[in-house]
Structures are given as C-alpha cells and as structure tokens.
Chains A and B, each alone.
Chain A
Amino acid sequence: MGKRTRMRESTGPRSPGPTTPTRDTRTIRAKMVLLGSSGVGKSSLALRFSKDEFKGTLPTVGCAYFTQVVCLSDVTFHFEIWDTAGQEKYHSVTPLYYRGAHAALVVYDISKRESFIRAQMWLRELEKHYIPASTVMVLVGNKGDLSELCQVTLQEGHSLAVDRGLLFMETSAKSGNQVSELMLAIDRPLEGSR
C-alpha cells in the first residue's frame, strides 16, 4: 500500500486509555464512512462500536458524525466516523462523506438480498470516484444473528470481497459478535500504511 499523505500524524502526549503505553504513542486521525442501504444496521454498528450498546434506532437523517478514540498499545486512533443515511433521497449528498475517507465500510443485511445488490452499487460508485488504493475498504454483512433468515450466504459475501480486493466480515450489531474484530481489522492496515 502506498504512503498515506492525507492522514495527519503527530506525536502527542500520552493519551489516557485502557492501556498504559511504555513509550510515546502515535496518534492517527482517520476518517471512516459507513455506507449501505437504509436499515442494514450502519447506525447500530456505529453505536456498538462507540458505546458497545444496541438499542432501537430510527433511520438516520442526512448523516451523523461522531468521533471515537481507540487506544492500542502503541498507537491511538482518532476516528472521525460518518454514519450516512441509506435512504435514496440522501444519495446525492453522500460523496461529501466518502470523499477523503481512509476507511469505507460498505454494509449489507444478510437477511435482505436487495441490500447486497445495493452494496455492489456502492462499491461501483466508490470505484468511479477514484477512491485511492490506500483506502481501507471493508464489506460488512450485518445482522449475522438472523442466520435463519439468511438470503446472502457467508460464501457469497466472501467471494465478492475477494473479487474486489476488500476486507470482509460478517457481524451482528445486535449481539456484538465480530464488531470489535471488524474494528481491529480496519486498524491494522490503517496503521501499517504509514
């Protein structure tokens, strides 16, 4: 992967966090965007990620922005998360949010075939907009807990990801299953790319 130039980096003071670093930690700011049809669970994933909670949500209006600090042993991530609305009427504004993103999560709902098709459209759109190769792209099949209603198999998701050179993960925002793994999967390449 090429050197990431847009990502600002600084050697700041030790950040408070669960880990007590033994040497100066690096701080990496990373812009992350969540894309995918309405109702696939983008906001729920974001909530699970930031607060480790799951609760009823209403459709996102426009876009929700928040920041999240993640401390690893020798690096601190400042995530700027853009949780976009999946509704079609907001489609025209989404380029604002994925432009310059360091990580893009394209989410579908494993119990809704339609959302998987939409995910592929999102991938095509991202390609069209010259998302640099350094962008960490992840295909996420959410609602893994609904396996009995599964319309998109793990295998299908996986092969699409391999095909397009994306990371892939099946998660459940509801149970929390694989969500922290997902974040780690993003952190590593973000960190490694510099």
Chain B
Amino acid sequence: MAVYVHNKGIPWEVQQNGTLAPVDHLRNERSESPTPGLVVGTEPGAGQESAMFVHAQSFEDLTADSEPTTEPEPEGETVLGESAEEEALCLGAEQETQEEQQPEVEVEEERPENRSKEEDVCSEVWRSHRKHVFVLSEAGKPIYTRYGTEEALSSTMGVMMALVSVVEADKNIIRSIHADGYKVVFLRKTPLVLVGVSQTCQSDRELTRELQYIYYQIVSLLTLTQLNHIFQHKQNYDLRRLLAGSEHLTDNLLRLLDRDPGLLLSAVTCLPLASSTRDLVSSSLQAAKAKSLVFSILLAGDRLVTLVRKKDQYLHHMDLHLLFNLVGSSSSFREGEGWTPICLPKFNTAGFFHAHISYLEPASDLCLILVSTDREDFFNLSDCKRRFLERLSRRTAYQSLKEALKCPSYSVTQVGIPELRHFLYKSKSSGLYTSPELPLPYQSLEEQERLMGLYQYLHSRLHQPTRPLRSIYRCGETENLLAWVTSGFELYLCFSPLGTKAMAVAAVNKLLKWIRREEDRLFILSPMTY
C-alpha cells in the first residue's frame, strides 16, 4: 500500500507552540492574517459580543450523551504520525478501490415527494440502500423506516429489539455490529430504539450522531414527556399514529444529513449580506418584540439572515436545524401564517414552544420564525411580524436584502486560489460556517453526496475520541483534501488532484485572509438580543 508521510519541509506545521501557523502571525487582536492557534473568539467569523448559540462548539456536546466508542481502524489504511498531532496520508489508487466497493449511489436517490414506501423489503434494491434507519419502540414495534413499509419490517424490527435485549440482559449495551461491509449502530433512547444500518465509511460515532438527530426530530413533534407518558401507559402503543403525516420530515432530515454540511459541522450558514444591511434587519427584528417572544429568526431558504434572541436564552444549532427542516419540508406556511406547537429538544424536552411561521411576501424566500412561550399569543406575534415588516420596508435595507437574495452563495473563484475547488470553514465560537457553492464537478447529487462523504470521513478522523487529529492531508485520484482543526475553527478544503501538499498549505493562509476580509458579509458579527 502506498502511504507516504509528508511532514517535512513545511515549517508552519511543526511549530513548538502547538499551532500550525508561523509564530510571527500571532496577534491578540483581530488581525488581517488570522492565526489559527489564537484565543477562541477571535478567529474569522467570531461574533463580537456573545455567541448566538448554546455550546457553539457542540459536536462533543451533541454526542456526549452517548459515550464514545472505540472503533477499529478502517481497513486498508495505515495511520501514521504517531504524535496524533498530525497525519498525512497519500492514498492514491488504494482510495479509489475503496470507493468502488461501495454500491451504486443512483438507486437510492429519490425525490422528496415519492417516498419509496412501496419498495419490496426482500428486494436487492432495498438491500442496497447505503443507509437504512429504523426506529422502534422498546416493545419492538416499528415506528419508522427510511425505505419500505414499517409493516413489512415488523419481524425484522422484532429481531433488532431482541438483540438489544439479549445483550442488555448481561448488563452490557449494544452499540454496533460490524460485518461484511455493513455497520449496524444502535441508539437506545428510552422509550425509543434507533438502529442505523450503513454501508458508508462513516464512523460509528457519526452514525450515532445522525440517529440522535432523528430521535430529536421525533421529540420535537411530541416532547419527551409525552413520549414517556404514552409508553408508560401502553407499552405496545403504535407511535405511527401520532407521527402520521410527519414521516416526510424524517425523510428530509436524513437527506439533509447526507448533503448539508451544517449538520455535519454543527453549525449554520448565513446569507452573504452587507453588515450594515444585516444590522438593520436585526435591529428591526429587535424592535418588533413581544413579551412571550424568545427567538426571532429570519431565514432565506436554508440560510440564516439573522437571529435575535431573548437575553440569556440561547438556541442550540440542532434545534435550529430542526426548525430549518420543518420550514423547508412544509408548504403550508406559504399560504398565510403558520402557528404550530414545537418542542426544541436541546432547549427543553418537556415542553412546547409555539412558533409563528410566515413568509415576508408570498413568493419570497424570506421566512420569519417567531418562537413564543405562549400558545395564546398568535395575534401578538402576527402583529410583531407586521411591525417588523413595516419598519423594514421603510428602509432601503429591505431592497438590499432582496438584492442579496439573488446571489445567496458565492463562487470559490472569488477567493483567487486556482487549485481550490471547495471548502467548509466553521468559526467555532459563533457556530457559523461558510462555504462556496459547489463547483461543476460536484453539482450532480451523486457527486455532491460523494464530496460530503469525504468531508464526513475527514470530520470523523479529526474528531475521533481516542485519537483526535489536528490535520489530515489526503490525495485521491479525483481530488486532494486537507482538513484542519484548531481551537478557533474547523476547515475542510477540496483541491484539484493536480495540486501538491505545499500548495494546499499555502492556500490555507490565503483562504483565511480572504475569509477575514469577507467576514462582515459572510458571518453575523454582532448578534442582537431583545
């Protein structure tokens, strides 16, 4: 196997101070050329005051309630760089064969509207899906399956529950099974059991994290209190009754998990917008407050325009992703104003908030979510929206905002690094990330998911609990990748396969400078509270 270590000759990687940047770049203030190792909160994109989200660095927080598992090294790979500080792999043809072993992606592609529910669960097609997700009750009753029907799988799910119970009878907990190219991951969250069956190269931890998302999706519809109550009263209750009509939310969330970097990074991306405009939008939202209001969130499609929150109340990025998912997979908010109970499980699993959801204009992408504690407060919130819109319409900022909607993303060519194809940059302290639109080779869904798969892989390597890495460089036939994590940020870069590592390294500094220059536009630097 061809494995090379590249850790010589690149001075910035071997700094004594444990950072990957040249020492002379270290400054305490916001500098034009940011230094990776410096104090958290000063990296490009860091908010000036307080953060908007709880636990903005919460990948760890997210998985904390399921103790990390020690996993075997992926086969066919050798880990070098025993310092665990840095690892450089060059997997050429090796890597390709590894990918070829994966089943065709095309078959599992489906449009949001036609759930492949009718699919025969004994068929090859069903078997070959890259990732299955099953939710069952502790009595072994099927609650959800990503593919096929729950009815057809009731005996399969019974077996799964039996497996969980048998292991638990010995006071053990079953976490995962690895066999024959498959990983089966179990997540027990009383009163539910979630099972993921994957043929991807994602780690157990990543898969568990995805199952947690699904779990919280269900909790957001019902609250944990209600879930517990139901199953305490009737162990073999058929939860599908209460989830009927919401299966598409779970389907859509699973698609987001495969495609949206935000869910991977535990971060949210913003609509690029001049900071003066954003501040005006924020202050208009801030002015349109009501007593019961906790969060005011303005979205442009799947991007955040701004978020104003009650003092001392923080929104967890996961709850925000659940809100995004709700808005993105429902059409009902288009016609009129929506008013719905919703549980934000990372905030409180016991109770419902009440969300007023509406688009600013009928055909607009701008969607306003007002989260209230009072279910009787509809008209008050409706009035908040009216006031916000009135205030905003008086300003030219509204026009600028609508202009900005026309280019919700940017091209990587703006950065001016020819070999750079794509990147993800997350500012840890703000919980926000930025990323250019996908360039040509990655525009098809298959390619998009393949690239996401690579990022997921890098992410899991960086965050491996037993051996976390600071950086990984990896060559392939189709692209070269570099991932790098510091206390302030996380960065994933995708380069053309013709580039070299030295080039990639040089690109990082250039990119960080560019992000620093553009941070006003790409991030929310001054989050507001009521």
Using a CB–CB distance below 8 Å, which chain A residues touch chain B? Answer: 38-39, 43, 46-47, 50, 56-66, 81, 83, 85-90, 93, 96
Contact = CB atoms under 8 A, between A and B. Distances in A.
B332 A43 contact: yes
Contacts of B332: 43, 57-61, 64, 83, 85
Nearest to A60: B332
B329 A83 contact: no
A62 B381 CA distance: 15
Interface stretch (B179-187, B337-345, B443-451): B337-345
Q: How large is the interface on B (under 10, 10 to 19, 20 to 34, 35 or more residues)?
A: 20 to 34
A88 B244 contact: yes
A6 to B, nearest CB: 15
Interface in B73-111: none
B222 interface: yes
Contacts of B331: 56-58
A57 B331 CA distance: 7
Given A38-B245, A58-B248, A62-B341, A89 B336 contact: no
Contacts of B233: none
Nearest to B338: A64
B357 to A, nearest CB: 8
A62 B369 CA distance: 14
A66 B241 contact: no
B347 interface: no
A19 to B, nearest CB: 25
B404 interface: no
Nearest to B331: A58
Contacts of A86: 245
Given A64-B332, A64-B333, A64-B337, A87 B245 contact: yes
In order of increasing CB-CB distance, the 4 nearest A-B pairs are A62-B340, A66-B336, A59-B245, A87-B245
Contacts of A59: 245-246, 330, 332
B149 to A, nearest CB: 18
Given A38-B245, A58-B248, A58-B330, A93 B335 contact: no
A91 B264 CA distance: 34
A85 B338 CA distance: 10
Contacts of A61: 326, 330, 332-333, 338, 340, 357
A59 B221 CA distance: 14
By secondary structure, the B interface counts as: mixed
By secondary structure, the A interface counts as: mixed
B242 A88 contact: yes
Given A57-B332, A89-B222, A96-B376, A62 B339 contact: yes
B401 to A, nearest CB: 24
24 contacts: A43-B332, A43-B335, A46-B335, A47-B335, A50-B335, A57-B332, A58-B248, A58-B330, A58-B331, A58-B332, A59-B245, A59-B330, A61-B338, A61-B357, A64-B332, A64-B338, A65-B336, A66-B335, A83-B335, A85-B340, A88-B242, A89-B222, A89-B246, A93-B375
> Which of A47, A65, A87 has the most chain B CB atoms closer than 10 A to its own CB?
A65
B243 interface: yes
Interface string B311-352: 000000000000000100111110111111110000000000
Nearest to B243: A89
Contacts of A88: 241-242, 244
Contacts of A93: 341, 375
A89 B330 contact: no
Contacts of A85: 245, 332, 340
Given A62-B355, A89-B222, 9 more contacts: A57-B331, A58-B330, A62-B339, A63-B338, A65-B378, A83-B336, A88-B244, A89-B221, A96-B378
Nearest to B249: A61
Contacts of B333: 61, 64
Contacts of A46: 335
Interface in B187-233: 221-222
Contacts of A56: 331
A89 B341 CA distance: 10
Contacts of B340: 61-63, 85, 90
A51 B331 CA distance: 16
A34 to B, nearest CB: 12
Nearest to A80: B379
Interface in B367-393: 375-376, 378, 382
A66 B338 CA distance: 9
A56 B495 CA distance: 42
A75 B335 CA distance: 25
A81 B369 CA distance: 20
Contacts of A39: 245
Nearest to A84: B339
A95 to B, nearest CB: 10
Interface in B239-269: 241-246, 248
Given A57-B332, A61-B333, A64-B332, A90 B244 contact: no
Contacts of B245: 38-39, 59, 85-87
Contacts of B336: 64-66, 81, 83
A89 B335 CA distance: 21
Contacts of B221: 89
A50 B335 CA distance: 10
Contacts of A38: 244-245
A57 B185 CA distance: 35
A8 to B, nearest CB: 14
Contacts of B329: 58
A154 to B, nearest CB: 28
> Which of B248, B340, B357, B376 has the most chain A CB atoms closer than 10 A to its own CB?
B340
A89 B247 CA distance: 13
